[in-house]
Amino acid sequence: MGLDLKELGDFFGDLTDVWLERGSNDGISVGPMDELVKTFGNEGGCLPCIWRSNCADEFISIDARGYVAQCDCWVTSYPEYFFGNIFETDNLTKMLAESPARRKFLERPAAVIPQDCIECKYLAVCHGGCPVRTFTFSGTMFEKDPYCELYLAMFAKAEDVATKLSLSRARNGGKSSQVQQANWSLPATDRNTVELKPPVMSPRLVQIERR
């Protein structure tokens, strides 16, 4: 792959710490960690497409020639996964419904989740990851994202940050507090009385049925 996923995960963790200490209270965003923290804090984070329940349910990409595919990555790189061409049909809905290539995207969750992801605590956030990254790396989309190790590190970091921020707000009567590492350590008098728990996330649909 060319990347050490553990080192990359450590980098995102360190970057998050720098952001929290120096920029988060000044309107600076560091994606996707900022949105992950919101997600784990149950504050409506907007995550990138790689962590959608199934991108085939939400969008398509059409290039200048009229070719339709799942996203810009597919439409620019993998013609065998084109859904069709809008200049060759008068019914886009029918084209999508009958496309064998699109059917593979719809079937991916049912193939990947029971095999690789069903026991993962972050399934409701990740959903098996990005199909195009998986296909590019392994030649099939019916496996989990090869960056799984990195995602797990990012999710764990974001969950930890969200937990500490939630606890800090609770101790301040629900008021927002400065997002700095200096505020994260509990005073000695609190360590025996406060149990650190992650915020309760809203239930999320995990699509595994075939359509």
What are 7-24's pLDDT values in tens digits? 999 999 999 999 999 988
Is 167 inside any structural domain? yes
Number of residues written out for the chain: 211
Is 201 inside any structural domain? no
Q: How many domains is the chain built from? A: 1
Whether 156 contacts 164, CB under 8 Å: no
Arithmetic mean of pLDDT, 137-150: 96
Give residue 208's pLDDT band: very low, low, confident or very high (50, 70, 90). Answer: very low
> CA-to-CA distance for 112 and 120, rounded, in angstroms?
12
Give the pLDDT confidence score for residue 108 in this predicted structure: 95
Q: What is the CATH classification number for the domain harbouring 36?
A: 3.20.20.70
Is 208 inside any structural domain? no
How far is CA 7 from its chain centroid? Answer: 19
Residues 159-178: tens digit of each pLDDT? 999 999 888 888 877 655 54
Is 75 inside any structural domain? yes
Query: Containing domain of residue 48, as a range?
Result: 5-183
Helices 148-171 and 5-22: angle between axes, nearest 10 degrees: 30
Is 194 inside any structural domain? no
Q: Which two tokens stand for residue 100?
A: 């064998």
Residues 98-112: tens digit of each pLDDT? 999 999 999 999 999
Arithmetic mean of pLDDT, 191-211: 46
Is 97 inside any structural domain? yes
- The pTM (predicted TM-score) of the whole model is 0.80
Is 207 inside any structural domain? no
DSSP secondary structure string for all residues of 106-132: HHHHHHHIIIIITT-TTHHHHTT--HH
Whether 54 contacts 105, CB under 8 Å: yes
List strands edge to edge, sheet with 67-69: 61-62, 67-69, 84-85
Is 33 inside any structural domain? yes
Residues 115-142: tens digit of each pLDDT? 999 999 999 999 999 999 999 999 999 9
pLDDT at 43 exceeding the cut of 60: yes
Percentage of the chain exceeding pLDDT 70: 81
Q: Which two tokens stand for residue 99?
A: 């496309």
